[in-house]
Amino acid sequence: MRLNIPHFVMSILNRLTDNGHEAYIVGGCIRDILLDKEPEDWDVATSALPHNVMEIFRDKKVISTGEKYGTVTVVEHDDKVEVTTFRSEGGYSDSRHPDWVSFGDNVVDDLSRRDFTINSIAWNHIKGIIDPFGGMEDLNKGIIRAVGNPPDRFSEDALRMIRAVRFASNLNFVIEDETLKAIKNLASTIKNISIERIREELFKILAGPSPSYGMNILMDAGLIEFMLPEMMMTIDFRQNNPYHYMDVYQHTLCVLDNCPPLLHIRLAALFHDIGKPYCYTEDAKGIGHFYGHDKKSVEIAIKTLKRLKSSNKLIKKVSLLVEHHMKYYKRNERYKIKRLIGEIGKDNIFDLLSLQKADAMCKNKPELIDNALEMENTVEDIFSRNEPIDLKDLAINGEDLIKSGFNPGVEMGKILNELLDMVIKRPELNNKETLLEIIMCKPLN
């Protein structure tokens, strides 16, 4: 089988084999090529020892990224390839790194230490495909299967359990029965994994093509209570409201699937109703209400994202969208829409609209979808007309007021904000001469 391999990667294979060593492209890059996907990175496994690799590529930039474990990275311009010596491994007492590594000269032994069969395929231009564990068949059938004994693979590195879910979710595969059984039995050991590694896998699931599928596997496998315990109260929480035909958890999954695959919007979808179980009340007719759930959801989102050690920038974006997700306005509420844009920022308004449209699509209230689309059209019209939104858009500023005899201070800020409120309602007034005339002739209230 001939594969389309970039020139730089092939040059590494050729140089290793020309120097008397076996070398194969392995792992995820082979999996992606066989799935007609573009590999994100390239990995080569070789019989050459790390010091041999560094000597062979002495004319290039070589980084010792994990020499203890047999890995060096060969770099040329913007291209880089990780080159790792064939190896066998001991136990994983820290649930991440092998206690010992033994370098070898057999590619099959090297493939046997990998996580899943679809990642345990090798190829070179001499021998073609090397597939000792049936990875190609599993790729064709859409199966995620652990290499060898599943409990052993997950005991070596518990993160592999979440990776199994991520691969299944993002590739639309199913997890093989014995592999899934092992995940269920060992789910609690995910507590031994650093929160940063868990976060990265979770975020890849959420930003993938079918986040609801991934979330449901996490729940079925018993992982979600250790990864996102904050979600547990939403499961089977009935809303008892005519606008909601799903429980809070299922509604959340629906919104996730209908949001664009941008992490901050998907996270806002995940958290937008997470506060509902804490805010539930019933009226005299037995209809459920969730007053203040937006504020409670923001509180939980911030706390959860901090626990996951997310960046402050991401936390701010997500909490902003969750806080404002209930603010739907009609076309004739143009003033309120402009105020909303000014409040959350021009850069965030279309993200909010994406969340609101997804939310509307998952409710038993068709007119809400029309409302969301109408609001989006109004925002686009506001931008196309360059209508003033915030103080930066105002035709005059503090310096203009000082030149006109006003003293700097709180009063000046009040004047500018009152002028902004005026031109938001009447954009045609937004020119310097008119605004100066207004404040000179008539006190603002």
User: Please, which pLDDT band fits residue 312 given cuts at 50, 70 and 90?
Assistant: very high
Domain ranges of the chain: 7-134, 142-227, 254-385, 391-441
Q: By 3-state DSSP, what share of the chain in percent is helix, strand and coil, each rounded to 5?
A: 55, 10, 35
| 220-233: pLDDT as tens digits | 999 999 999 999 99
At CB < 8 A and 24+ separation, what contacts does 210-215 make? 210/169, 210/170, 210/172, 210/257, 211/169, 211/253, 211/256, 211/257, 211/266, 212/253, 212/254, 212/256, 212/257, 213/168, 213/169, 213/172, 214/165, 214/166, 214/168, 214/169, 214/170, 215/253, 215/256
261 DSSP assignment: S
- The fraction of the chain above a pLDDT of 90, given in percent, is 80
Mean pLDDT of 180-186: 98
- In the prediction, which pLDDT does 367 show? 87
pTM of the model: 0.91
The owner of tokens 């309602």 is 425
In this predicted structure, the answer to whether residue 442 has a pLDDT above a threshold of 80 is no
Listed ranges 43-47, 104-108, 411-415; the one with the highest mean pLDDT: 43-47
User: Please, which pLDDT band fits residue 129 given cuts at 50, 70 and 90?
Assistant: very high
The owner of tokens 């936390």 is 315
- In the prediction, which pLDDT does 78 show? 86
User: Please, which pLDDT band fits residue 410 given cuts at 50, 70 and 90?
Assistant: confident
Could you please state the CATH topology (level 3) that the domain comprising 7-134 is classified under.
Beta Polymerase; domain 2 (3.30.460)
- In the prediction, which pLDDT does 342 show? 94
In this predicted structure, the answer to whether residue 90 has a pLDDT above a threshold of 80 is no
**Nearby residues of 232 by Cβ (< 8 Å), 6 or more positions away:** 224, 225
Q: Residue 50 in contact with residue 64, Cβ under 8 Å?
A: yes
CA pair distance 49, 44, nearest whole angstrom = 13
- In the prediction, which pLDDT does 443 show? 57
Q: How far apart are the first and last CA of the chain?
A: 79
Which CA distances in Å does 256 have to 46, 221, 362?
42, 20, 10
Helical residues (DSSP H) of 172-210, grouped into ranges: 177-186, 195-206
Which CA distances in Å does 224 have to 87, 139, 220, 228, 302?
33, 26, 8, 5, 18
Q: Measuring CA to CA, which residue among 139, 121, 119 is closest to residue 130?
A: 121
CA pair distance 49, 84, nearest whole angstrom = 8
CA pair distance 374, 370, nearest whole angstrom = 6
In this predicted structure, the answer to whether residue 404 has a pLDDT above a threshold of 90 is no
User: Please, which pLDDT band fits residue 77 given cuts at 50, 70 and 90?
Assistant: confident
In this predicted structure, the answer to whether residue 95 has a pLDDT above a threshold of 80 is no
- In the prediction, which pLDDT does 336 show? 95
- In the prediction, which pLDDT does 91 show? 63
Mean pLDDT of 171-185: 98
R_g over Cα of the chain: 29
Element (H, E) at 278: helix 276-279
- In the prediction, which pLDDT does 247 show? 95
Element (H, E) at 26: strand 23-26
Alpha carbon 123 to chain centroid, angstroms = 31
In this predicted structure, the answer to whether residue 181 has a pLDDT above a threshold of 70 is yes
Q: Residue 166 in contact with residue 128, Cβ under 8 Å?
A: no
**Nearby residues of 286 by Cβ (< 8 Å), 6 or more positions away:** 240
In this predicted structure, the answer to whether residue 441 has a pLDDT above a threshold of 90 is no
Alpha carbon 264 to chain centroid, angstroms = 7
Both tokens of 113, joined, read: 């230490």
In this predicted structure, the answer to whether residue 306 has a pLDDT above a threshold of 90 is yes
- In the prediction, which pLDDT does 102 show? 81
Q: Output phi, psi for 116, to 5 deg.
A: -125, 155
Q: Residue 53 in contact with residue 83, Cβ under 8 Å?
A: yes
Q: Residue 98 in contact with residue 156, Cβ under 8 Å?
A: yes
In this predicted structure, the answer to whether residue 68 has a pLDDT above a threshold of 80 is no
Q: Which CATH class is domain 142-227?
A: mainly alpha
**How high is the mean pLDDT of the chain?**
93
